[in-house]
A and B are shown apart, each in its own frame.
Chain A
Amino acid sequence: MQNSRSERQQESREKPRGCTGFPRVLRPGLAAALLLLCLPLIAAGATIQASLDRTTIALGERAMLSVRVEGGNSDRPPQVPAVEGLQIVSTGPPTFLRYDINGQSGTMLTYNFVVTPTQVGEFTIPAITIASEGQQLATQPLKLSVRKPGASATQASGQELAFIRLYAPTNEVYVGQVIVAEVQLYLHNVVRDIGNFQVTAFSADGFNKGKTVEGRQSRARVGNSIYTVVPLYFPLTAIKAGDSSLGPLRVSFAAEIINPARRDPFDLLGFNTPVEQRQIALEAEGTHVRILPVPSENAPPGFAGAVGVYSVSMSVSPTNVAVGDPIRVRLQVSGRGALDSLTLPEQPSWKDFKVYPPISRIETADPLGIQGTKFFELDVVPEKLEIESLPEFSFAWFDPEQKAFQTYKHPAVPLTVRPAGTAPLLAGDPGEKRETAPPPRDILPIKQRVGALAQARPPLIQQPWFVAAQSVPVLLWIGSVLWRRRSEWLANNPRLRRKRQAAHAVRRGLRDLRTFAAANQSEQFFAALFRLLQEQLGAALDLPASSITEAVIDEQLRPRNVPEPVLAGLAELFQACNLARYAPAHTSQELAAYVPRVESLLNELRALTA
């Protein structure tokens, strides 16, 4: 007890830590400045959410209450109602956050409060309200369990490296009720990190276990030591009546512990923190829980086994339909309970309607998946013209907190049912209240012009000719690359280029020879013949064409063992050219007779040089 008091005194001394440096008188001003800063950024739709870092604490510990206001426009901090047995104190000005995620921007203000219990018990922090743009926003009430210190485990002294505590929210549950068991893992300040955390055993007979969720870490003082508290939540659904126990629970993990005794002697400046690895196994004692059956007496007719704390709303549209047309019934069940297994009861009074199986989806509001909204959509089809209303709808559930059945009843909805195939009354329909602009009442009329008629063909990408046509630019590109390469190759090989030019000149010269022979132009004929011989011999001997004369036969060709008939033929041609300069008169036939001889000689020369 003495120890507990000293802890509280210590905590009370620690309280102002959150607002150190800000005089009390300046705090409202600072808060107002923060709010003014975010005013132009705030979107119209504001939301408020409150959360506790732990739902179960021991007397002498503290919990952190966070109130998060997203968007909106508020110039006053939220009002936290007083709760007997709890001291709720603000930690100072709110933290302001402006975010821009995936193009969505907004602002968020978080107010933090320290909750210190003064007695053991179950507490409900009522809805916290805040005024924003003329609206009063409110949070959901929050529950906090305060246990005696050491109620579920051996009293911790503050010397332990780690210990765990298991809290069951209640000792009595009903079949179908969802409760959340909380395990608090206390890690001493010297534990730097943990890994390979495993729940090795958790006995929970009569319960279905849900997904385990880790809560927000907090700090707590135990004895003279500061511990990091890691809460773990186990959602449990009671499935079988009888006496049961939650726990014992065993966990194991590897811890990195700061051990100054293992400091490296060479680490004089203390850069490396000395740590040692240790495997730790912990156990929390179990608690007895009694699972009660849902009372069968006084169960309302619409009860289909739903257990939880719910609120229900329903809408029906359209209400002006033809026989056989569907009417969509939308039902929202919000609250806390086993939303997954929630089903809609049959409605015996809807016997004149064909009822289709509902489609449902769940939007959870917490990571445990036990708080949220389940949306049902079902189509009902009136099958008689005489129907005047959709009869009353009822949905019943058992509230384990009130320990009583609750029933939601939606009154009968008046309907206008007309014969099949008739159009609905659009004007002055009293049954339908139109809040938005009416949608177009009919499709647009048909088109009077047929437009461009075309033969039905597959898309271009599937037509072979189109795909084949795409090879044209590729071929052009490849051709251009080859052309470029060839040009560069020729540019780097002058001897070959000369041979090609000579071959080209020979082809052209032979053509000219035939032309001149046909035109009986003797002078031009022999001039062309001389040039032809010069070009071919120059290319073959790699000499300038202009330097080729008859003398080349003896000087260059004979030493190269050119056959004698070729040399004789060449000498004859050179002599004919020389003779023609002085006596150019030749007939056309004579000139034409030279052409095959020249051609044959040039071919032989080309073969020799090749």
Chain B
Amino acid sequence: MRLLSKERCIQTGPLCAQGRVGRHRPRICAFAAVAAALFICGRAAVAAPATDRFEAANRLYEQGRFKEAAAAYQELLNSGFTSPAVYFNLGNAFFKSGQLGAAIAAHREAQRLAPRDPDIEANLRFIREQVQGPRLTPNLIQRWLGRLTLNEWTLLCVAAFWICLLSLAALQLRPARKTLLRGIALAAGAATMVLGACLAGAWSSVARPVAIANANDIAVRNGPIEESPSTYTVHDGAELRVLDQKDGWLLVDAGLRPGWLKREDVILWPSGRQPDGTRASD
């Protein structure tokens, strides 16, 4: 009995010294294969109708039925699916139907998901050029941080953090490798701090919402009441930094001077984010 187990262990490799894993290995492999197949089929089965709906919306767009196409893309997004291509096409449909603000919001969302997509960048630039009046321009640091998504910054930072702490743990277990492990830990620690700062910067740029004017000739007033005199006017598509909110009014700034406008006249980006920076679901 013992010899038999040993032989089996030798046959199945060193990972199963007791023979138990080796004995069950075919079953585990089969289970993993079935699970993987189910996962892939499940995803395909779920994605298939979504792809059909995407293509149907594309057909509406090609027929020049831009508003209907926008509604179809919107419906696809409301069903819980998201992809940069859907937001990109939605932005195009909004633009073609004359809604500059909504188009910019959709393209910004697409850019958030795929920050290095040149098509999105080109379209966003083109649409912004059509916007009249004051607009918000990101600074150099914001543009540089925007080259990666928030998740990419997070993963980079976390990877450096893990490497740092695992090196420190290995340093305790293998003191003989002190020089190498300490070097790795120091480098990874420094990388963690730098990447953490980048992550904080990237987070802060998406944490504060941007108000995108969704109507033409929105009066920006001195105070959050209708009777307050208009300071200046912003046009559809103008991007404004949100500073404060009060009773359905938002205090915005577009580089000129702060002023108040109605919440209902703008789209807040990122979608679902409250004017104070929290998410609607928080």
Residues on A lying within 8 angstroms of B by beta carbon are: 326, 328, 356-357, 359, 379, 439-440, 442-456, 458-462, 466, 470, 473-474, 476-477, 479-481, 483-484
Contacts and interface: CB of A to CB of B under 8 A. Distances in A.
Interface stretch (B20-28, B31-39, B76-84, B238-246): B76-84
Contacts of A459: 150-151, 154
Interface string B71-96: 00000010011111110110011011
User: Which residue of B55, B82, B166, B172 has the most chain A CB atoms within 10 A of its CB atom?
Assistant: B172
B232 A460 contact: no
Contact of A453 (B83, B88, B166, B279): B83
B83 A451 contact: yes
Nearest to A457: B82
Interface stretch (B4-12, B122-130, B261-269): B122-130
A466 B158 CA distance: 10
B134 A473 contact: no
A424 to B, nearest CB: 12
Given A443-B95, A448-B58, A473-B166, A454 B232 contact: no
B172 A446 contact: no
B175 to A, nearest CB: 8
Listed from nearest, the 5 A-B pairs whose CB atoms lie closest are A473-B165, A480-B172, A480-B169, A447-B85, A446-B89
Interface string B110-148: 000000000100110011010011100000000000000
Describe B's contact surface by its main secondary structure.
helix
A461 B169 contact: no
Contacts of B165: 473-474, 476-477
Nearest to B233: A356
B168 to A, nearest CB: 5
Contact of A326 (B132, B150, B256): B132
B279 A458 contact: yes
B40 interface: no
Given A461-B203, A473-B161, A453 B81 contact: yes
Contact of B232 (A357, A453, A474, A483): A357
A483 B173 contact: yes
Given A326-B235, A461-B150, A484-B173, A447 B126 contact: no
B88 A477 contact: no
A440 B172 contact: no
A446 B83 contact: no
Nearest to A458: B279
A327 B27 CA distance: 74
B61 interface: yes
Given A359-B134, A446-B61, A476 B169 contact: yes
B134 A450 contact: no
Contacts of B230: 357
B260 interface: no
B92 A359 contact: no
A444 B119 contact: yes
B190 interface: no
Contacts of B77: 456
A484 B171 CA distance: 10
Given A453-B82, A459-B154, A477-B166, 14 more contacts: A326-B235, A357-B230, A379-B133, A439-B126, A440-B122, A443-B126, A446-B61, A446-B93, A447-B88, A451-B85, A456-B81, A474-B165, A477-B169, A480-B171
Contacts, number: 113
Nearest to A446: B89
Contacts of B173: 480, 483-484
Contacts of A439: 126, 129
B54 to A, nearest CB: 4
B47 interface: yes
A401 B281 CA distance: 67
A450 B127 contact: no
B210 interface: no
A473 B54 CA distance: 42
Interface in B223-282: 230, 232-233, 235, 256, 279, 281
Given A444-B119, A447-B89, A480-B173, A455 B82 contact: yes
B169 A479 contact: yes
Interface residues of B, number: 54
B145 to A, nearest CB: 14
Interface string B26-69: 00000000000000000000010011001100100100000000
Contacts of B169: 473, 476-477, 479-480
B199 interface: yes
A455 B123 contact: no
B83 A452 contact: yes
A382 B134 CA distance: 20
A449 B168 contact: no
Contacts of A474: 165
13 contacts: A357-B232, A359-B134, A379-B133, A443-B122, A444-B119, A451-B83, A455-B81, A456-B77, A456-B82, A459-B151, A460-B150, A461-B150, A483-B172
Contacts of B199: 461
A515 to B, nearest CB: 12
Nearest to A325: B132
Contacts of B92: 443-446
A319 to B, nearest CB: 15
Which interface residue of A326, A440, A446, A449 has the most chain B CB atoms within 10 A?
A: A446
B85 A450 contact: yes
Contacts of B126: 439-440, 442-444
Given A451-B85, A452-B83, A454-B83, A460 B155 contact: yes
A442 B203 CA distance: 32
Contacts of A470: 158, 161
A454 B82 CA distance: 5
Nearest to A447: B85
A476 to B, nearest CB: 5
A379 B123 contact: no
Contacts of A448: 58
Contact of A359 (B84, B166, B256): B256
Contacts of B170: 480
Contacts of A454: 81-83
Contacts of B122: 440, 443-444
Contacts of B129: 439
A459 B155 CA distance: 11
B47 A453 contact: yes
B53 to A, nearest CB: 9
A379 B134 CA distance: 11
Nearest to B93: A446
A76 to B, nearest CB: 40
Nearest to B149: A459
A223 B138 CA distance: 61
Nearest to B53: A450
Among B85, B93, B158, B169, the most chain A Cβ lie within 10 Å of the Cβ of: B169
Contacts of A440: 122, 126
A320 B155 CA distance: 50
Contacts of B81: 453-456
B49 to A, nearest CB: 11
Nearest to B199: A461
Given A456-B80, A461-B154, A476 B58 contact: no
Interface centre among A379, A442, A459 (most CB of B within 10 A): A459
B132 A379 contact: yes
Contacts of A357: 230, 232-233
B8 to A, nearest CB: 22
B86 A450 contact: yes
A443 B92 CA distance: 7
